Structure 1
Amino acid sequence: MSSGSSAVDVVLVGVDGGTESIRVMCTTRQGHVLAAASAPYATSYPYPGWAEQQPDSWYSALCLAFKQAMQALTLDQVNAIKAICIDTTCCSVVTLDASQEPVRPCLLWMDMRSGVEHTEKVLQTNDVALRVNSGGSGPVSAEWMVPKALWIKENEPSTWSQTAYLGEYQDFINLKLTGKWIASTNNTTVRWHWTRGNPPLSLLKALNLEDVVEKWPAEAIAPGEVVGNLTKGALHDLGLPQDAEIVVAQGGADAFIGMVGLNVLRPGELALITGSSHLHLGVTDSGTSSGEGVFGAYEDGLMPGVHVVEGGQTSTGSVVAWYRRLLGDGVSYDVLNEEAAAIPIGCDGLVCQEHFQGNRTPHTDALSRGAIVGLTLKHTRAHIYRSILEAVSFGTRLILETMRDKAGYRPTVIVVAGGVTRSPLWLQITADVVGVPLRLTKCTDAPSLGCAILAASAIRLYPSVTAAAESMVAVDRTIEPNMEAHRAYEPFYRAYVDTYQATRGVVAALRSTTAAQT
C-alpha cells in the first residue's frame, strides 16, 4: 500500500460476485477506476444438472480481492473509502442455521435439480404472481427461488428444519458485512415472484410453502439504499482501519446492476449483455407489460419507477467459441472476422439457428437445437462463421419484435456490454439486423461500475441513482445501423424465423431415436 498523497476525496468500491470469481473495483466519484482485483472460488457438480458452491468461499474471496485492490491505492485513498456495494449471481440460494452458518452448500443459479417436477408445480397454481413468466403461460425456470426452496423442503427436510435464514448470495454477503438480513427488491421482484416488496403469499400457500416467509429476509430494499455500515469484524476481515465508517449500499442481480453501469435507466433504453449467452433488459414506462415469450414486466424491477422487460438467448458467444475451436488453435477471431467481412449479407444462402443449448425466449424451448441450413460446396469457413454472427443477431431481433408485439415495448437505443464489443463486424451486423443504434460505454465492467454508482448514491454524492449514472458513465461511441443493409437482411431474417418451425419435428424425431438406442 502506497503512502503517497492523493487529491481523491472519496473512493467508492464496487464488487461483482460472479459465477467463477469475485471482482473488486475502486473508483472515484467521477467513475474513474483506481484499482481492481479478483479472486476465484470453486464450483462442485455432485450430480448431472446440480451445481453447488460454499458460501464461506465467497466471503474469503471477497476479503482476498479487497486486500489486493487496496495494494494499488495510496494510504490517503484507502482512508477515503466511504461506501461499498455488491452485486452477485441471482438465485444462488443459501441456507443458514440460527447461528448464521451454512447448513449445506449453496444451490448455484445454474443448478437445475428442481427440474420439471417442481417448476410445473409452481406453474400449475395459475397464481397471479406468475404473470411475469410470459404472461402466466410459463415456463417457470428451475433457476428461480421458489422452485429451489420447494425442492429443499421436499427433498431435504432435515436441511429445511435447520434453516433459519434462506436467501441469496447477495443477502449472505451483506449479512457478513453488516449483520443485517435484508433482501434486494431487484432479486425479489425478478426471481422470487414478489410484488412491490411483498412476498407471493397466495402462491406459497398453494405450494404448502408458507413457512419459507419466516426464513426469507423480512425486509427488502431497493438497489442504492443503505443496508448498514461495515461491522468491526468486517473492517478487520477486509484490512480496513477499525475507526472507519463505511456504508454498505444494496445491490442486486449482476446483469441488472449492469444496467446501472451502462446508464440504462430510462424508458425505451435496452441493455444488451453479451458473452456466452445474450441477455436483453429493457426499461419500460409501465409495469403492466407482459406477454408470451417475454419475462416481465417486472414492476419496479430494478428500482422504484424502473420497470424491466427481459429476454434472453441461451447460446450466442458460446456457439462462436465452439466453431473457432473446431477450426483449431491456428485460426484467430481476427482472421475469421476479416474473412467474414468479405462475405455478402445472407452468406450466399446460408442460414444458421443458434439454439445449440435450446431457446430461452421467445420460444422457451429447452429442447430446440442448432442448425445450419443451405450448405453447398461453394461455402467456406468464413460463410459459416458469418452465418453464426447473423443468427445471433437475428435471434436478438426476434426477441425485440416479440417484446414489441407481446409487451408493447420498443427500444430506441441499445447499450451493449461484453464479448460482442470486441468485434466491430459483429457490432455492425447486430445494428444492421435490428435497425437500432448501438451505444458502447468506456468502462467494460458494467456490473462493478453499477455498484460504484449505487454506492455513490447511497452516501448522497448525487441526488439520485440516475444522476450518479449520468455523471459516472462515459459513452465511448455509437454504432449506427445501415438501413440499406437492414432491408437486405429481411429475407434471410424471415428464413431464420421459419427455420425453428421447420426443424422442430426433425429434432424431436432424432431425440426419440437416440433415446430408443440407449
Structure 2
Amino acid sequence: MSNLVIAVDSSTTSTKAIIVDSAGSVLSQAKVEFAMSTPRVDFYEQDPRDWWKSTNEAVGQAVAQLSDTDRGRIKYLCATIQRQSFALVDSEGTPLRPGILWLDGRAAEQVKKIGSRRVHELSGFQPDTTPSIYKIAWLKDHEPEKLAAAHKVVGVHGYLTHALTGQWVDSVATADSLGFLDSAKLDYSAELLDLIGIKREQLADLVPAASIIAPIKKSVLDDWGIKQSIELVAACGDGQAAALGAGAIGMEEAYLNMGTALVAGVHSPRYQIADVFRTDVAGIPGQYVLEIVQNSGAHLAGWFRSELGNPELEGRPDPELDKAASEVATGCGGLVTMPYWNAVQSPFWDPIAHGAIIGLAGAYGRAEIYRTILEGISLTMATNLHALAETTGVPLQSVRVMGGGQRSPLWRAIMTDCIGLPLTSCDTEEISAMGAAVMAMAQTDAYDSVEEASKGMAALGDTSDPNLKNHEIYLELAELQNEAYPALKAIMDRQYQFSLRHPLH
C-alpha cells in the first residue's frame, strides 16, 4: 500500500495536524489551540512548551482516528511553523523566558539602530520589527544576561525538531526568518551574529529544506500509537508552505493568502531583493520565495465590523453590510484608504506608519467606509504584485487565492478587479499543512521532487475573472493611493513623536 505522511502547521494560536496520502486527500486531522499573552502594548509572547504540547496532542489525535493498517502506512512527518517567533532555551530545551512572536513590535528602536540596506542584502528582510534579529537586539539591550545564558536561540521549527528527535537542527527554510542568515549562501552570517551579540554555537545546525533530519524518538511514537520508525523532514515557513500547498511553483503563478495578514508571492530560482518583497528560502531546494507582506488584511476588515459595525455580531461577517457595500460605486467616489492599521510592510516598511482614509465627507456612511477599506487593502496588494512582476521580469498570469477573506464574495470581487487577473481558489482548508505534506511526500516513491508533489497534491476550486471596466477605475484610484504615503510621511513621523510624549494608554 502507498505511504502516508503526517503534516503539522504550528501557527500563532493553534497547531493543526493532518494525515495525507499521495493524492493530497486528508484521511484525518486535528487541531489544538494555545494561548498568547500581551504583557505590555506591542509585546506578544508565548510559552514555547505549548508549541510542543499542542503538536504532540494534535498529531496524537489525528493518528488515533486511523485504523491500525493506515497507521502502519505512515512514513514521514514534516512541520511547517509560524515564522520569526523564537525562544531562548537551556541545554534541556527548557525556556529561559517566554517566546517572542513574529507580531511583537517591541523592537522599533532596534530597527532604527541596526536596520540597514546591508542587513536587507544579507538576510533578505527589510528593516522591520517582524524578523527575530531586531527582537534579539532588544534582548541584548534589555535582558543581556538571559541572552548570554541561552544554550540555544531557536525558532519554532528548531524547538520542535529537538522535541521530536533530541537534536538541535533547523531547516534553512525556517531559520531564514530569524533574520540572521546569509540567505544567498544558506548559512548563518557571522556579520549579522556579531551585530546582535550571539555566537554560532548558540544556534541549531542547518540542513537543506525537504531533507531528512533524523528518526523521531521512539518514546514519542509510542505515545502516538505508531509502531514503525518515522523520519522527520526539514520544513519551510508557513508562508512558503502555503505556496506549495496551492501548487503555485512558477514565477508566473502567484499565491495570495487573504488571512489576518495578506501575504502573496512567487517562487524564484535565484536570490534577489527589492523593496516590494522580502526574500524567503523556499521549500523547493535551491529556490526562494519573493514575498509581499501586508499585516493589515482581514484583521482590518474585522476591526471595522467590531468597532463600527453591528454590535450584536461582535465583528463577525455581516451579510447586510456586505450587500450595502456591494451597491457602492467602484472607487467610492475617490475615497483613498492607506490600510496601515498595523504599520506598513510592502513596499515602504515603515514600523511607525499608520492608516488614513482621505476624502471623508458627510455623504459617506458605514457601507462606503467599509468598502474603501477593502479597496485600500486590495489596491495595495495589486500595486505590490505588479511591482513584483516588474522586478522579476516575468508577467503574472494567474493567482491562487486562499484564506478566510476569499470567502467574502464582495472582497474577492474587489481583489480580482484591483489585480486585473483571474483568481483561482484553493480547495484545501489547511493549505500550509498541505505544503508540509508536499515536502514529506516528496521523500516517498510517489514523487520525484517537491515541485512534482506540489502539482500532484494541490486541489483547486473556482476561478473569478476581473471586470475590466472596474479594473480601469482601480488603476486610476491606485495612482492617488500611491501618492498618499509620501505626502503624509512627515506628518506620521510627527504623530509618532507626539504619541511618545502623550500616549493613548
Same-fold status (TM-score > 0.5)? yes
| Partner residue, 2:277 | 294
| Partner residue, 1:228 | 214
* 2:286 partner letter: G
| Partner residue, 1:305 | 286
Report the CA distance between 1:125 and its aligned residue: 8.6
Is 1:84 the equivalent of 2:71? no
Is 1:204 the equivalent of 2:196? no
Number of positions where the alignment pairs a residue of Structure 1 with one of Structure 2: 497
Task: Check the 8 A contact 2:19/2:26 in 1, yes or no.
Answer: yes
Distance 1:446 1:305 in 2: 22
Counterpart mapping for 1:5-404 below 5 A: 9-117=2-110, 119-123=111-115, 126=118, 129-130=121-122, 132-133=124-125, 138=126, 140-190=127-177, 191-195=179-183, 196-205=185-194, 207=195, 209=197, 211-222=198-209, 224-237=210-223, 239-241=224-226, 243-287=227-271, 289-296=272-279, 298=280, 300-325=281-306, 326-330=308-312, 332-404=317-389
Q: Secondary structure at the match of 1:303?
A: coil
Task: Check the 8 A contact 1:284/1:409 in 2, yes or no.
Answer: no
Report the CA distance between 1:268 and its aligned residue: 2.0
Distance 2:205 2:244 in 1: 26
Which stretch shifts more, 255-264 or 335-344? 335-344
Report the CA distance between 1:154 and its aligned residue: 4.6
Unaligned runs of 5+ in 2: none
Q: Secondary structure at the match of 1:255?
A: helix
Taking only the aligned residue pairs, the percentage that are identical comes to: 24
Distance 2:311 2:107 in 1: 38
Normalised TM-score (structure 2): 0.91
Distance 1:147 1:513 in 2: 24
Task: Check the 8 A contact 1:291/1:407 in 2, yes or no.
Answer: no
Q: Secondary structure at the match of 1:271?
A: strand
Task: Check the 8 A contact 1:350/1:374 in 2, yes or no.
Answer: yes
Report the CA distance between 1:516 and its aligned residue: 5.1
| Cα distance, 1:460–1:345 mapped onto 2, change above 3 Å | same
Deviations 1:300-329 (A, max 9, x none): 544323222122112121221122121224
| Cα distance, 1:84–1:351 mapped onto 2, change above 3 Å | same
Distance 2:101 2:123 in 1: 25
| Cα distance, 1:83–1:379 mapped onto 2, change above 3 Å | same
Distance 2:366 2:129 in 1: 37
Q: Secondary structure at the match of 2:182?
A: coil
Distance 1:38 1:32 in 2: 17
Report the CA distance between 1:409 and its aligned residue: 5.5
* 1:132 partner letter: G
2:410 to 413, 425, 429: 425
Task: Check the 8 A contact 1:109/1:143 in 2, yes or no.
Answer: yes
Q: Secondary structure at the match of 2:52?
A: helix
Distance 1:438 1:169 in 2: 32
Runs of 4+ that moved beyond 6 A: none
Deviations 1:22-65 (A, max 9, x none): 11112222111122111122222333332222222221222222
Distance 2:192 2:33 in 1: 37
| Cα distance, 1:198–1:98 mapped onto 2, change above 3 Å | same
Distance 2:50 2:499 in 1: 40
Q: Secondary structure at the match of 2:188?
A: coil
Is 1:412 the equivalent of 2:397? yes
Deviations 1:425-446 (A, max 9, x none): 2212212111122121110211
| Cα distance, 1:381–1:248 mapped onto 2, change above 3 Å | same
1:480 to 454, 465, 470: 465
Distance 1:55 1:38 in 2: 17
| Partner residue, 1:5 | none
Q: Secondary structure at the match of 2:236?
A: coil
The root-mean-square deviation of aligned C-alpha atoms, in Å, is 2.5
Report the CA distance between 1:405 and its aligned residue: 4.6
Normalised TM-score (structure 1): 0.89
